[in-house]
Every structure is written in structure tokens, then in C-alpha cells.
Amino acid sequence: MVELEILATSTVPDLFSDCPDEYTARDIKYINCSIPVGQSPCVMLKELHDAKNFRKYFLATIPLVLSAFAVVFNILFGLLTIVFWRRNKLSSKQRYTFLQNRTLSTIIALILFYIVLIAWKAGGFQYTSATIFILVASLTFLTHSGTYLGMTTVLYMAIVHPMSHRYLVTFTRCFIAVCIIWLISVAFSLCIGLLGATLFYPETAPIRCEFSRCQRPFAIAVVCLLSAFFIIVIAFYVIMLYRMHKRQYRMQRSNTDRSSNNVRTMNRLAINLVTFAVASLPILIVAIIATANLESLASLGLGTKSPCKTFKNGHLFWEVEVLASIAATVWVMTMILDPLINIYVDRQFRKASVEIWHRCISRLQRRVYDIKDHASTSNS
């Protein structure tokens, strides 16, 4: 084997004689692979190298680093929410019930995302890791959609029907709504994850699902359902904003203080709409593209893993990794921005956060001063 590698470094096989700069010693294992008619081995080798380089730097490194920031920011936001909840410093406990649900969903999704990356680095993408990847995407999409629907309803009731909001929108009912969102999301996501992974790994999946009778209809149904749900949530947002603006215009002259509060509420809702759209759209686009190219992508899971199979499907691996990395990067970026945006748009939450920050800085400065004072006393 050592002699073979030494020979590979000194001579370029005839198969790759047109691309000596692209060829490396590790590519010796591809010299016995058959080349499909009309394909260039040099082009295939370049596509495979592009896929491996992309996987190394973009698919794992960038989302991994960004997700670390996302975990820290969401944990801090969740802890601050609990502290302010106990001190009665929240502008609306009902709305923050849904925000805590979204924070919990984000942290769980990021932990599962780490598990997927570790499993992928350890043994490549298999049925189990593909199941978790699809589960994370669908669980995040559904729980966040339900959360935004709940927050929109709470804000709408507070502006348009303030008396009904006071008596009907209680913490208990919001908590029940959150539990229902989780039950539906987990059940639906498990179904999508278990069946969705069979689209890419049909031979190793515990569930038998033929391409024409099961895989393709299931993929089309899931994409249509997710698209419909996305459109419904966006439409619901737009309708609620329109009705809030109508209500705001009518009461603009009567109550200036309440009018300014309502404007801030509507601005917050508009920002939430943009955040939801940016976070969900990449997942939806990846699902649509994967369904459109389902037959070719499904071939990656057929047969046993071998160097020749990897070599022949380099362009497919590159397409899958580009789609996955773009979706993961945009998704993680929104996870970072979500808590920061909510702190910024909520003036009461922001003010309480600044107070805690100044208090922590003051304690740290006092601690440093005490240490220096103790050191100077000991020296004297």
C-alpha cells in the first residue's frame, strides 16, 4: 500500500493525465472506476474535490461556529426571561410564554444539529443522521410557525379587542396552546423524519417505501403541506397587521400614549414576520429543490458505499452539501438574530437587561478593586 502511494505521488495515472494539478495521491483508489459515457474523469474528479472542500469548510465549520453563538444568545435570553418573569418586569407574560417556547425549540434544535454534525463527521450521512437532520428542520419550522401564530393572536387581541384580551388570553391558556403546538409538531416531524430519510437511504431504512408508489407522492405531499402552511402563516400576519392599522387609525386621536404603544407592538409584529420568513424560506426552498431532483438524489442511498460510487456521484454530493449548508447557515443566523431582535424591540425588556448588565459590571469592578486592595495590604 505504501509503495502504491509513493507511485501515485510520482506518476499520474493515464485516467487523469489531462489534469495532473487536480490529481492527488489519495485519488489512486479511483483509477479502476468505470467512467460513464460522455463524462470526463477530470471533471468528475474536480467535482468530487469541490464537494469535499465545501463539506470541510462550509457545511461543518461555519454552521458549527455560528450555532455556538446561537446557543449562548438563546440560553441568555431564556434565563433573562425567567428572571424578569419572577420580578414582574415583562411587558406581557402571555407573549413571553410563546417566546420561551420558541427559545426552547431553538436550543433543542441546535443540540440535535450538533448531534447530526458529530454523526456526520464520525461516519458520514446515514439513515439515522438524515432522519435527525429532517426532524430538526421540520420541528423548527412547525414550532416556530405555531409560536408566531400564537404571538400574533395575542398582539392582535391586545390592540383590537383589549377587553377580551384581558379576560380570555390568560397564562394557562397560552401554556395549553404551547403544549398543543409541541404535540402536533413532534408527531408530524417524527413522521416526516422517518419517512423522509427513506427518500435518500431506501436500502438501509427500516421502512420499505418504493420510489414511484411511496417516496415521490410523500415528498410532493410534504412540500405542498409546508408551502401551504408557510403561506397561511404569512397571510395571517398580513391580515392581522392590516386590521391593527385600521384600528390604530381610528383611535389615533383619542389616546396618544396607547397609540404609541400600539405602534411599537405593530412594529414588533412586522419584525417577527420578516424573521419568520427569512428563517423558514430556506428550509422550504431546499425541500422544493430536493423534491424536484428526488430521483437523482435518491440514487445516493442505493447500493453499498464505495470509492467508485463516491467518485461517480461527486456532483450530486456537491449539490446536496451546497443546499444543506446554505439552509443551515441562514437558519442558524436567524437563531442568533431572534433573541437580539426581541430584546431590541421590547423597551421594558431592554431596559431591565441594561440594568442587569450595569449591575454585573459594577460587581466585577468592585471584585477587582477588592483583590487589588487585598494584594496591596498583604505587600505592605
The confidence band for 5, taking pLDDT boundaries of 50, 70 and 90, is very low
Domain boundaries along the sequence of the chain: 1-32, 43-345, 347-380
pLDDT in tens, 252-287: 555 555 556 666 667 777 777 777 787 778 778 877
The predicted structure's pLDDT at residue 363: 82
Using pLDDT thresholds of 50, 70 and 90, give the confidence band for residue 348. Answer: confident
Write out the chain in H/E/C secondary structure. CHHHHHHHHHCCCHHHCCCCCCCCHHHHHHCCCCCCCCCCHHHHHHHHHHHHHHHHHHHCHHHHHHHHHHHHHHHHHHHHHHHHHHCCCCCCHHHHHHHHHHHHHHHHHHHHHHHHHHHHHHHCCCHHHHHHHHHHHHHHHHHHHHHHHHHHHHHHHHHHCHHHHHHHCCHHHHHHHHHHHHHHHHHHHHHHHHHHHHHCCCCCCCCCCCHHHHHHHHHHHHHHHHHHHHHHHHHHHHHHHHHHHHHHHHCCCCCHHHHHHHHHHHHHHHHHHHHHHHHHHHHHHHHHHHHHCHHHHHHHHCCCCCHHHHHHCHHHHHHHHHHHHHHHHHHHHHHHHHHHHHHHHCHHHHHHHHHHHHHHHHHHHHHHHHHHHHHHHHHC
Residue 21 — very low, low, confident or very high, per pLDDT cuts 50/70/90? confident
Interval 28-56: pLDDT, tens: 887 777 787 777 878 888 887 877 777 77
Mean pLDDT of all residues in the chain? 77
* pLDDT level of residue 302 (50, 70, 90 thresholds): low
Query: What is the model's pLDDT at position 282?
Result: 77
User: Is residue 7 scored above 50 in pLDDT?
Assistant: no
Residue 249 has pLDDT above 80, yes or no: no
Average confidence (pLDDT) over 188-205: 79
- Is the confidence at residue 194, as pLDDT, over 50? yes
Q: Is the pLDDT of residue 335 over 70?
A: yes
Domain 43-345, CATH homologous superfamily name and number? Rhodopsin 7-helix transmembrane proteins (1.20.1070.10)
- Which pTM value belongs to this model? 0.74
Percent of the chain scored above 90 by pLDDT? 3
Q: Is pLDDT larger for residue 272 or for residue 228? A: 228
Q: Return the minimum-mean-pLDDT range out of 89-93, 198-202, 246-250, 311-315.
A: 246-250
Q: What is the pLDDT of residue 183?
A: 92
User: What's the pLDDT tens digit per position in 166-182?
Assistant: 788 888 888 898 899 99
pLDDT at 180 (0 to 100): 92
